[in-house]
Amino acid sequence: MPLSKSRQAFGLLVWLLVAFAAAAVGGFASASAGEFYRELVRPSWAPPGWVFGPVWSVLYALMGIAAWLVWRARGFAGAWSALTVFIAQLAANALWSWLFFVWRLGALGFGEILLLWALILATTILFWRISAVAGALLFAYLAWVSFASALNFALWRLNPGLLG
């Protein structure tokens, strides 16, 4: 049975809240990230600190919409594995900020961001199988985390004193 418009709208709100809850957990850890980022020796290709907030805001919105499309197509029970992997990658996403900005563990942050990348790829594939649009909405996220992985590695290697 098709979902009512109000149930679809409520579902969209819930999935956006789930995505932005992960953003809030990571954001809490990133409260002083701007100051810390300015202290780091950065490669010439590193973006300015102000870029991260807007990019991540768009990416979290796209994640929430993608999850909603999958949920709308199959429900939670019908898309259990895809949505579970989605939630796992959100947890990994939030954890990275703690590893890098709070605990300043560059090597562990790099290993964890590689795990995050693999979880995003798995989520993209699983979402694509249910909704090509939902899978496609995660391409920018996968690309950004690919870039962020390279940046994490470079920052870790350039700042052994600050990122152990």
CATH assignment of the domain containing 107: 1.20.1260.100
Counting as low any pLDDT under 70, the low residues of the chain are 1
pLDDT, residue 65, reads 98
**111 within domain boundaries:** yes
pLDDT, residue 38, reads 95
Q: How far apart are CA 159 and CA 153, in angstroms?
A: 10
pLDDT, residue 134, reads 98
Q: pLDDT tens digits for 81-107?
A: 999 999 999 999 999 999 999 999 999
**164 within domain boundaries:** no
pLDDT, residue 3, reads 81
CA distances from 108 to 39, 53, 99 (A): 20, 23, 7
pLDDT, residue 136, reads 98
Q: How many domains does the chain have?
A: 1
pLDDT, residue 1, reads 66
Asked if residues 64 and 18 have their Cβ atoms less than 8 Å apart, the reply is: yes
Q: How far apart are CA 98 and CA 26, in angstroms?
A: 7
**163 within domain boundaries:** no
pLDDT, residue 2, reads 76
Domain span at 135: 5-158
**133 within domain boundaries:** yes
CA distances from 19 to 37, 50, 69, 99, 154 (A): 24, 21, 13, 19, 28
Q: pLDDT tens digits for 64-81?
A: 999 999 999 999 999 999
